[in-house]
Structure 1
Amino acid sequence: MVRTYRSRTATVSVSLIASALVSFSVGCGDSEVSRADVDAAVGADAGAGIDVQDASVAAGADGGGGDGRDGAVAAEPNILRIHYRPGEGQNVGDWSLHYFGSAVDQGAEWAKGPHFVPTSAGRGYVDIEIQHPESSLMFFPALFPAGGQDPIKDVETEVFFDRAVPHPTLVGVRECWIAQGRPVSFDPAALADALDAEPYHVRSPGDFIDLGDGRVRFMFRVNPRSTGTVSVWSSSDKSDLRAFAYDASSEVNKNGLVVDLKEIAADWEGKTFGFAIATALADKTDVTPDLSLRPVAYTIPSTNAEWARRSVFYQLMVRTFADGGRAKTSTAATGGGGSSSTSSGIDVSEKDGIGDLVGLRNKLGYLRELGINALWITPIFKATSFHNYDTLDYFDIDPAYGNQKDFKDLMQAAHCLSEDGSTIPGCTRINLILDFVQNHTSNTTPWFVSGLDPDDPEHAKYADWFVWADDYTNMFEGIHPWSPGDRLWHCRAMGGDYRCYHKIFWSGTPELNLRNPAVRSMMKEVTRFWVENFDVDGFRLDASKHIDQFDEINGIPSELHGTHVWWKEFNAFVKTLRTGEYPILLSGENRWDDVSAQNRIVAGNIEAVSDVSAFDAQTGTWKVNAFADDMDSQFDFTYRTALNRFLTGADYEAATFETPTLVQYVNALSSDLSRPTGNSHRSRHFFARFLSNHDVDRPASMFEGEPRPVLEGRLRLAAATVLTMPGTPVIYYGEEYGKFGRNDGGDSFIREPMEWVKTVAFQEVAGHREVDIHGDGMEDMCVGINPFDPTIKFIQNEDGVSVEEQRGVPGSLLGFYQSLIRIRHEHPIFTDPATTLSEEVVANDLYVFRLENKALSVPVVFVAMNRSATSALPFAIEGVDLVSGDEGTSFEMSPLSVRIVEPRN
């Protein structure tokens, strides 16, 4: 490709073939300028990081033009030249630039972005033509290894063309510079100076982790080579001041500095302490002003939300569950509000195709009929995205779903309360937990907007509410939890400078800084608000294992680990908000769906099962359930993997490779919970077990393509394993009638509308079906999926997969779910924590396990599941099958069938 630039004194043609600079020609007289001439002219850019600019620099000595700015010609296409310096030992020519955004009409195709043109000293550059200079270009340097492995990426950032540095001689060309792991700079010296500088100031001085027992882990950041002290006092005259020293060996940026406040004041509880941090690097020093902290005292709760262990949960997304009417105000993303009101935020006279709180309240009867007595709804707070996992306002409802009155009405109906607060006779209480995202927010929340912008009036208040890169941050370091090639940071342009913030999921979800006591206090206040004003029963904690990702990366033990310490503190707090029969539940999204983890868990070789903080330094052992000390419950993704292997018979087929069975896996986790740790709360911990949720493919689609009887048989086996084994079962909406859904290019296809009716109206659009919300049968069906892509892929007309087609039909999958849920509720052996499991038959076609609890009136139950050919139970047993009602001394098993046999004494 030949690109022609117009200089202020000459026309320059630059020929780029692949990623090598081939030749330069200057249209000024007949002179030809070599690469060597150009390097000589610009001083070979050895120290300043300036790459080849253009040959007119060399020609300027005899070409006239004075300062090189005379004789400018008509505007040329806008070119952004991005200079890059990778890490030591890396070849810049191996790196390419992946770019996208509104500044260009078309971004780079994945893995096919332009490679950096090598210049000198390991540096290189890429030129990108900008069609819309007023908009931002998003990009990141990337290294795509041979063989198709995942790429290695540098930090994603943005540049506005108009803010880049004008090229000194080329009209229409602007430049910026990047050193690996550093933000974009508009200073050409950045490629050298940014890495050679020796900062010495104290950063994040107010951050600390409260250990709850009088100890505080200060989390300030300094130059790794510096020495210094943390001075702490409690008296106004500082007469009891103690200085705690650190040096380079302390690695305070990684470990923090633990100070026991009891050494200063034995009566530390409720007392305010002052502190100041000093640092020195050679002849440079820095001392913070006097700061203060008030430590929090807490102990691990003696109570647990046992009601949840006995419950059957139902997970749904309000947006796609049931439409109760039209929202009276606009959605959160575009303004409007869902604040408290004396009237509903939903106009029930007209539907809008978006699920809402009124529609959910109208369907509580269906959930009670199914046997559900606990409900988990995905986020309903104001947010930027359709899924609401990027919170804008933790204290208000997304107006698309209604307002606070609608939510209060829902809670009263779920709790069987009449308008005057009295209990409705004969009504089954449904406890409701909210999805609570403490790990991150939206990048448009006022907290982040103020914290990002130094000129914002509230910048000082929110500046430390998020995790910002500082002088001591190399953003290229740090392993991403599930995508090793990704970075944990994103950079935003702020005037002529850049601010880079910690993110794990995507640039629109900056991570909150839970090392900041103000953020911790805010999360408690959010919780108090929803419990005290609306009687919420608990919280599902989204992304709860990522609260302090850097402690995870650095291998900090769980007793000091910011994630684990926070959840202990938070759990202690929420248990004070309600006592009695229904303590507030905390259930975390902590465990990964790790195929190989099953083997290690059962074998005891569990170093890589969960996280590095699972190592117990005191006992020298690895803990399987690292979060069992922190909260009531956690979602067991690994169980889902074991279950999938069971359904296909893969666990039996691979038995020679020590692949554990379901019972072996469950028993291994239970055994770890009984391991003595000095935490009585741990032994009462339980797992939430599920077939699918809003992030993973639905089981019906996982076995799609099988004949319908075989598919339904597998779904019955799946339901039986979740509803008869220990742990809290969680049913994802639509699962009970075999709803399909798979991530085919978007997770909205796992979140398609609940199929209340058998007939819907579709319009074919680009291979998907666009729903006409005014079509036949749509009066009870929500179609508000992703508002930016309102199409569906998996809903069919009259295919047998809907509530209408299965409700009340003998032998239906929906009816089977109702039976299993009823059996679970009626027999405490399935939910009592003292129940033990043992295997009776492990064969290719037949799997039988035994539940036993001698303290119960029904002490033994056998669960038999047949995976293939017709067979009979290989042992005599007199009893009754709780599923079919059959009685006898022997039981035949048809293919893909389930029997739950209660022996007769």
Structure 2
Amino acid sequence: MMKNTAFIFLFSVISSLVLLSCDSSQKENKDNMSSKNKASKQTGKLAYRNGGVTYEVFVQSFFDANNDGIGDLQGLTQKLDYIADLGAEAIWLMPVHPSPSYHKYDVIDYYDIHKDYGTLEDFKHFVEEAHQRNLKVILDLVINHTSDQNQWFKESIKGKDNPYRDFYIWADLDTIKEVGETKEVTGDSDNKYLWNEAPGNEEKYFGFFWKGMPDLNYDHPTVREEVYKIGKFWLTEINIDGFRLDAAKHIYPDDRIDDTVEWWIAFRNEMEKAKPDVFLVGEVWDEAKVIAPFLNGLHAIFNFDLSFTLQEALKNEDASQLLDKFITSRKLYKETRPDFYDAIFTTNHDQNRILSELDGNLEKGKLAASILLTLPGSPFIYYGEELGMLGIKPDEKIREPFLWSAKDDTGITKWIEPEYNTASTLNALDIQVADSTSIYNHYKNLIQLRKNNSILREGEIEVVKPKSKKVLCYYRILGDEKILIVHNLGKKSQKFDNELLKGEIIFKTVNKNLSKNTIPAHSSFIISK
């Protein structure tokens, strides 16, 4: 990320001054598993994060129970059996709080549910039902900023003497002129204009993402205490299991990255007081050396590097560099925090859908799943990925309705007219369930295999370098047990070392055996050694 040095320095000065002012006032394949590759020994409350799959849901698009065209919590509750049957062990809900926007990343009230989604009682019932199915619940918590319609901000704009003034970051025009009003576009923010006018105010307020999302001021002790209260409410009163923390890098500006890390350490400590086994996974778009210290405060960080390199490898049919950075990063993370978790994924709600990135090629889509679900880490799957859903930005188009049936539109949301995912472009779930070769069954088989295989869940990785750059090969190792995983990213068969291929095949993605030292096109094999 490029930095505006003058801005960052002066922003620090502003923050320090604000702080002084304030001081006074976180299946064949399954059946063929050998006894050597036995089910995971991982038990207890932490099992889901250690190699288990988390299913990301945009409630608005998932299932509509009251027939108003918008997905809701009652609908999601009705579909918990589907998510559990797929093999997921946790659900991550994109924001559900009252908000003026469809995506709800600008929160008006942290203690309530958006009326389109239901009520707080609906949410409590959802959590109870999820837990009965051994599904953990991770809630998207947006605490870098609020909505400009949040009551805190409505008070803040009333003037310098208001008790909520310093809940946000304000600066006079002379200071802003020195600081600079713009920033570079970054991976997580395409906003350029940082300072925003408020009616009746000579000063302007700071908003990293957008004028409708004013940043909170974490130099204010009361802000910190209020955010602790919010987290503890959802963990104790509602009994959720953890948070996905939006914009985790941006609590303070880039030159105060150490302060941001310290905030997350403090937040983690407070949340663990409320729920010792809480899980905190953060969004930090940056390189590994910047990410690593955050693992002292957050249990896991989303691995964007893997997402991007996986896409490029599949597009170019070149596996030669795919895992180098992944393994180097994991080593760095382990040195920083031995008990870290790596949140791996193909794409999420902020990116073009993986199958659209792969030009709709289902074989490559299956390969993406095969690679993701055989790597070490905690895989996150974006809703509809298992159907091969398509979508290209703007964001609404990568969050289209889940297509449950080709014949019956019961529950299919209608808040947006789908462009990429219709009966003519995508096989609905009911069709795919009945097709053993579908991408849905491919995902389900792999998830179930991973769920019941301790090496795939918990094992380390050792890369094997084949002669062909189109072949990706690695061992997963746990104690004295290991399995070999081979993927052919190419559209033609590839030669391979016959000695390495010896062993019992416990999973394969094509109805062929390995013969004549070749790996069939666009295929994956897991071999017990």
TM-score by length of 1: 0.52
Q: Aligned-pair distance for 1:792?
A: 2.4
Corresponding residue number in structure 2 for 1:447: 152
CA contact (8 A) 1:739 1:801 kept: no
Q: CA RMSD in A?
A: 3.1
Match of 2:452 in 1: 826
Which of 580, 585, 589 lines up with 2:283 in the alignment? Answer: 589
SS in 2 for 1:498: coil
Residue identity matched to 1:752: E
Decide whether aligned partners of structure 1 residues 632 and 472 sit closer, same or farther in structure 2, where only a CA change above 3 A counts. same
1:752 matched to which residue of 2?
400
Instruction: Summarize the Cα distance change of 1:485–1:441 in structure 2 as closer, same or farther, 3 Å threshold.
Output: closer
Looking at structure 2, the residues matched to 368 and 485 of structure 1 have their Cα atoms a distance apart, in angstroms, of: 38
Larger radius of gyration: 1
- Paired residue type of 1:729: P
Correspondence for 1:690:
345
- CA distance 1:485–1:538, shift in 2 (3 Å): closer
Name whichever structure is richer in strand by fraction: 1
| Pair 1:430–1:891, CA change in 2 (3 A) | farther
The one-letter amino acid paired with 2:294 is F
Partner of 2:293: 626
**2:282 aligned partner, one-letter code:** G
- Cα gap change, 1:848/1:890 in structure 2, threshold over 3 Å: closer, same or farther? farther
Would the aligned equivalents of 2:349 and 2:395 in 1 still touch at CA under 8 Å?
yes
The residue number in structure 2 matching 1:737 is 387
Cα drift, residue 805 of structure 1: 1.4
Q: Which amino acid aligns with 2:221?
A: P
Shift in Å, 1:649: 2.9
What are the equivalent positions in structure 2 for 1:362-761 lying under 5 Å apart? 362-416=78-132, 428-454=133-159, 460-470=162-172, 472-473=175-176, 474-476=178-180, 479-480=183-184, 482=186, 486-494=192-200, 497-549=201-253, 552=254, 555-556=255-256, 558=257, 561-579=258-276, 583-592=277-286, 609=287, 625-649=292-316, 651=318, 661-675=321-335, 682-704=337-359, 711-743=361-393, 746-759=394-407
SS of the aligned residue for 1:739 comes to coil
Contact 1:758/1:798 (<8 A) preserved? no
Shift in Å, 1:872:
4.9
SS at match of 1:687: strand
Whether 2:490 is the aligned partner of 1:867: answer yes
Deviation, 1:842, is 5.2
In 1, are the aligned partners of 2:281 and 2:301 still within 8 Å (CA)? Answer: yes
Deviation at 1:505, TM superposition (A): 1.1
- Structure 2 SS opposite 1:391: coil
Query: What's the secondary structure of 1:796's corresponding residue?
Result: coil
Q: Structure 1 residues 730 and 368, CA, compared in 2 at 3 Å: closer, same or farther?
A: same
Alignment identity in percent? 27
Structure 1 residues 518 and 783: alpha-carbon distance in aligned structure 2, compared to 1, 3 A threshold: same
Counterpart mapping for 1:20-419 below 5 A: 253=13, 291=24, 307-325=48-66, 351-416=67-132
Partner of 2:34: none
Runs (4+) off by over 6 Å: 885-891
**Compared with structure 1, are the counterparts of its residues 810 and 628 closer, same or farther at alpha carbon in structure 2 (3 Å cutoff)?**
same
Give the aligned partner of residue 794 of structure 1: 420
Would the aligned equivalents of 1:435 and 1:540 in 2 still touch at CA under 8 Å?
A: yes
Whether contact under 8 Å (2:377, 2:457) holds in the other structure is yes
> Offset at 1:484?
9.2
User: Which is bigger in relative contact order (C-alpha 8 A, separation at least 6)?
Assistant: 2
Cα 1:890/1:396, change in 2 over 3 Å? farther
The 1:795–1:674 alpha-carbon spacing in structure 2 relative to 1, beyond 3 Å, is closer
Letter in 2 for 1:519: V
Note the alpha carbon deviations across 1:237-257, whole angstroms, 9 max, x for none.
xxxxxxxxxxxxxx9827959
Provide the secondary structure at the position in 1 that maps to 2:91: strand
The 3 A distance-change label for structure 1 pair 890 and 576 is farther
User: Structure 1: which amino acid aligns with 2:484?
Assistant: V
Structure 1 match to 2:30? none
Residue 317 of structure 2 contacts residue 489 of structure 2 at CA under 8 Å; is this kept in 1?
A: no
> Is contact 2:194-2:206 (8 Å) kept?
yes
SS in 2 for 1:625: helix
- The residue that corresponds to 1:206 in the other structure is none
> Per-residue deviation at 1:818?
0.7
Residue 633 and residue 487 in structure 1: after superposition, are their counterparts in 2 closer, same or farther (change >3 A)? same
Contact 1:758 1:800 in 2 (8 A): no
2: distance between equivalents of 1:748 and 1:289? 40
- How far apart, in 2, do the equivalents of 1:625 and 1:866 lie? 30
Describe the shift of the 1:742–1:889 C-alpha distance in structure 2 as closer, same or farther (beyond 3 A): closer
Whether the aligned pair in 2 keeps the contact of 1:844 and 1:867 (CA below 8 Å) is: no
In structure 2, how many angstroms separate the alpha carbons of the residues matched to 1:670 and 1:895? 30
Question: Paired residues, what number?
Answer: 499
Amino acid at match of 2:219: R
Alignment deviations for residues 545-595 of structure 1 (CA, whole Å, 9 cap, x no partner):
01102xx1xx34x5xx3211110100111111123xxx1111000024xxx
Where structure 1 has 5 or more consecutive residues not aligned to the other structure, the ranges are 1-152, 154-180, 182-220, 225-250, 258-275, 278-287, 293-303, 326-350, 417-427, 593-608, 615-622, 656-660, 760-776, 785-789
Give the C-alpha shift of residue 481 in structure 1.
5.8
**Take 1:491 and 1:255, find their aligned partners in 2: how far apart are those partners?**
19
Offset at 1:371? 0.7
Alignment partner of 1:850 out of 475, 482, 485: 475
Cα distance in structure 2, aligned partners of 1:783 and 1:520:
39
What letter corresponds to residue 63 of structure 2 in structure 1? A
Which residue in the other structure is 1:893 paired with? 519
Kept in 2, the 8 Å contact 1:382–1:397? The answer is: yes
SS of the residue 1:736 aligns to: helix
Aligned with 1:835 (options 437, 454, 460): 460
Q: How far apart are residue 882 of structure 1 and its match?
A: 1.9
Distance 1:842 1:366, change over 3 A: farther
Shift of 1:489: 1.2
Q: Report the CA distance shift for 1:664/1:750 in structure 2 as closer, same or farther (over 3 A).
A: same
Q: Kindly state the Cα deviation for residue 798 of structure 1 after the two structures are TM-superposed.
A: 4.6
2:413 to 771, 776, 782: 782
| 1:321 Cα deviation after fit | 0.3
Structure 2: segments with no counterpart, 5+ residues:
26-44
Deviations 1:160-211 (A, max 9, x none): xxxxxxxxxxxxxxxxxxxxx9xxxxxxxxxxxxxxxxxxxxxxxxxxxxxx
Cα distance change, pair 900–462 in 1 and its aligned pair in 2 (3 A)? same
- The whole-number CA distance in structure 2 between the counterparts of 1:289 and 1:310 is 43
Query: Conserved in 1, the CA contact under 8 Å of 2:59 and 2:72?
Result: yes
1:797 and 1:355 map into 2 onto residues whose CA distance is 19
Q: Distance in 2 between matches of 1:361 and 1:445?
A: 28
TM-score, normalized by length of structure 2?
0.87
Deviation at 1:317, TM superposition (A): 0.6
Structure 2 match to 1:234:
none
Once the two structures are superposed, what CA deviation does each residue of 1:747-790 show, in whole Å capped at 9, x if it has no partner?
A: 1011100010114xxxxxxxxxxxxxxxxx32120122xxxxx3
CA distance in 1, matches of 2:87, 2:126: 18
